[in-house]
């Protein structure tokens, strides 16, 4: 038995922080469905299991409701199995009833009740659909006593958290990671966690097929799962299906001469135009170094799909040469000296100190004509 495990499509997810590029990232989530379909055809898998959060909300627009169905319809030889998650639970007159009323393609199957469903002559699917955003009990517990024909592979499909289960802590939608042993499952396909993660040999989170936040999964993935028989172990192989790569980096700068190396390393990243980079900069630079850094970051902003540079931990320490470049005396030099004193004053708040540093950088840029001073 070979199938694909995916989850957390969250079709319709907003990306307001990207401004006019929001639509590009929303479209990428639909492209990921097509890539999963292509993966299924390439790997010879007849079934794709989607472990919850097909949609980002319970009330998608009519267009958003239908868009993923049309992508799945295009892969007629692949059966798509959809499960409600915490973002799109199965409530009366909710998103799943709207789907049923509208009609779904013959190759798209909605698993809205906790009951065994035959996938083929080799396997049975046991689903645990959510009917509200948060459950205090384990909805996979019913699988322990579920009756299926002998000799079939039992596959569980659920959406929730295994973190803290049985350790005295509370978790929303808890799932016992020991469920495969208790319910005789060959595999438990989970959704909710947005990183691909092996919980146990037969328990995996697929992660999201298209990343959606900094610090999460870099590449969107789907899992190809092979199970030779009812008592055989599951073999799980991750495959990249996402378009955009989300990276987080931390860099320490102590000297302007390090800027060349930093820019070279960042420009060497693959697929810059489809990379979303969040970089945390720490250390200390003189005014000239900070101005040069901002010019380089502006260039990288044009090369990357998106760049967010956090310079809150990067300190500005003007050198004598920096201050002389602004002016040897007069109004500009007096302003620079006052701003430097504020930046070094530990009796004022951090926000005021940072504002003084930024103003000092801008004064340096204006006085020296050294290019753009801010991103």
- The pLDDT, as a whole number, for residue 359 is 75
How much is the pLDDT for 337? 67
Question: Strand pairing partners for 189?
Answer: 157, 204
Average pLDDT over residues 13-18: 93
| Tens-place pLDDT, residues 77-100 | 999 999 999 999 999 999 999 999
Distance CA 199, CA 193 (A): 11
**What residue ranges do the domains of the chain occupy?**
2-240, 245-368
CA–CA distances in Å: residue 298 to residues 251, 274, 308, 314, 371: 17, 17, 11, 17, 10
| Burial bucket for residue 143 (CB in 10 Å: 0-12, 13-18, 19+) | buried
Segments of 179-260 assigned E as strands: 187-191, 197-200, 203-205, 221-227, 234-240, 245-253
Give the architecture-level CATH label for domain 2-240.
Answer: 4-Layer Sandwich (3.60)
> Confidence band (pLDDT; 50, 70, 90) for 375?
very low
Helices (H), 46-118: 62-73, 95-102
Whole-number Å distance between alpha carbons of 185 and 342:
65
- State yes or no: pLDDT of 344 exceeds 80: no
Candidates 348, 341, 339, 262; CA nearest to 300 is 262
Among 59-73, 152-166, 336-350, the range scoring the smallest mean pLDDT is 336-350
Model confidence pLDDT, tens digit, residues 313-326: 888 777 777 667 66
The answer to whether the predicted template modeling score (pTM) of the entire model surpasses 0.85 is yes
User: For residue 374, what pLDDT is reported?
Assistant: 47
Per the listing, tokens 């590009």 go with: 24
Instruction: Assess whether pLDDT exceeds 50 at residue 159.
Output: yes
Q: Which of the residue ranges 193-197, 234-238, 257-261, 319-323 would you say has the lowest mean pLDDT?
A: 319-323
Taking the C-alpha atoms of residue 72 and residue 9, their distance in angstroms, rounded to an integer, is 13
337 vs 326: CA distance, rounded Å? 10
Cβ count within 10 A of residue 334 = 11
Tally of CB atoms within 10 A around 78: 21
Following CA atoms 110, 111, 116, 121 in sequence, which dihedral angle do they give, to the nearest 10 degrees?
30
SS3 of residue 47 by DSSP = strand
Is the pLDDT at 307 greater than 80? The verdict is yes
Bridge partners (DSSP) listed for residue 276: 246, 306
pLDDT at 170 > cutoff 70: no
**Quick one: pLDDT at residue 169?**
43
Q: What is the pLDDT of residue 167?
A: 43
**Distance (Å, whole) CA 305 – CA 14:** 17
Q: Examine the pLDDT at 137 and tell me if it is beyond 80.
A: yes
Give 168's pLDDT tier (boundaries 50, 70, 90): very low
User: By three-state DSSP, how is residue 50 classified?
Assistant: strand
User: pLDDT: is 106 or 337 the higher one?
Assistant: 106
């Amino acid at each position: 038995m070979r199938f694909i495990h995916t989850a957390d499509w969250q079709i319709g997810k907003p990306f307001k922080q990207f401004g006019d590029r929001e639509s590009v990232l929303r479209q990428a989530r639909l492209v990921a469905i097509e890539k999963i379909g292509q993966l299924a055809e390439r790997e010879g898998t007849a079934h794709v299991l989607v472990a919850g959060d097909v949609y980002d909300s319970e009330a998608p627009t009519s267009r958003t409701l239908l868009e993923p169905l049309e992508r799945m319809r295009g892969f007629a030889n692949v059966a798509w199995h959809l499960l409600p998650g915490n973002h799109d639970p199965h409530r009366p007159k909710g998103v799943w009833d709207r789907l049923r009323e509208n009609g779904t393609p013959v190759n798209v199957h909605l698993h809205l009740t906790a009951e065994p469903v035959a996938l083929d002559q080799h396997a049975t699917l046991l689903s645990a659909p959510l009917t509200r955003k948060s459950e205090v009990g384990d909805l996979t517990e019913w699988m322990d006593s579920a009756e299926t024909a002998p000799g079939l592979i039992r596959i569980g499909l659920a959406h929730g958290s295994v973190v803290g289960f049985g350790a005295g802590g509370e978790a929303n939608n808890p799932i016992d990671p020991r469920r495969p042993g208790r319910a005789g499952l060959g595999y438990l396909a989970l959704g909710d966690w947005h990183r691909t993660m092996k919980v146990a040999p037969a328990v995996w989170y697929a992660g999201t097929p298209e990343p959606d936040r900094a610090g999460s999964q870099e590449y969107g993935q789907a899992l190809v799962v092979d199970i030779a028989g009812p008592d055989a172990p599951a073999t799980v192989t991750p495959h990249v299906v996402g378009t955009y790569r989300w990276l987080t980096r931390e860099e320490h700068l102590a000297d302007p001469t390090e800027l060349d190396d930093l820019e070279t390393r960042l420009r060497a990243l693959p697929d810059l135009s489809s990379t979303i980079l969040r970089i945390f900069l720490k250390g200390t630079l003189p005014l000239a170094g900070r101005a040069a850094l901002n010019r380089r970051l502006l260039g990288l902003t044009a090369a990357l799909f998106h760049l967010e540079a956090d310079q809150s931990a990067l300190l500005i320490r003007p050198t004598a040469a920096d201050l002389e470049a602004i002016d040897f005396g007069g109004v500009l030099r007096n302003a620079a000296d006052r701003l430097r004193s504020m930046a070094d004053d530990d009796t004022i708040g951090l926000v005021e100190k940072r504002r003084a540093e930024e103003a000092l950088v801008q004064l340096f840029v204006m006085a020296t004509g050294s290019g753009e001073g801010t991103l």
